[in-house]
Homo-oligomer: A and B are copies of this chain.
């Protein structure tokens, strides 16, 4: 059973702000990993639906490299949102990078958009059609 996905953060409070304010996640636990000089933060939907996201903060990590889009191995994380327009407007107000403006998948289909989290991880937003 696929239980969580782990990504890195260079600033835990900023990442927690992004995932809780814009994507409705809640911090379920956070724990220090002293042997790695790191901290792990687990977030999920408050009603415990959907997947768990682990944010790992290595306090000494300096580089956060992402290969060019064409050459990547990891692609994106996908989140369902209730109101795409309101989500995008709130993100734009904070200067969050919108890589693909909202578009509809076929007639009456879902509305999709792509943005980047504070560290450049690609995020797909989906409003069900």
Whether, in the assembled complex, A85 has its beta carbon less than 8 Å from a beta carbon of chain B, the answer is no
How distant is the Cα of A68 from the Cα of B65 in the complex, in angstroms?
Answer: 9
Give the interface of A toward B (CB within 8 A).
1-8, 23-25, 43-45, 49-54, 56, 61-68, 70-80, 119-121, 124, 126
Does the CB pair A56–B79 fall under 8 Å?
Answer: no
Query: Which of B1, B23, B63, B78 makes the CB contact (< 8 A) with A4?
Result: B78
Q: How far is the CB of A69 from chain B (nearest CB, A)?
A: 10
How distant is the Cα of A126 from the Cα of B21 in the complex, in angstroms?
Answer: 30
How distant is the Cα of A64 from the Cα of B4 in the complex, in angstroms?
Answer: 22
Q: Which residues of B contact A64 (CB under 8 A)?
A: 71-73
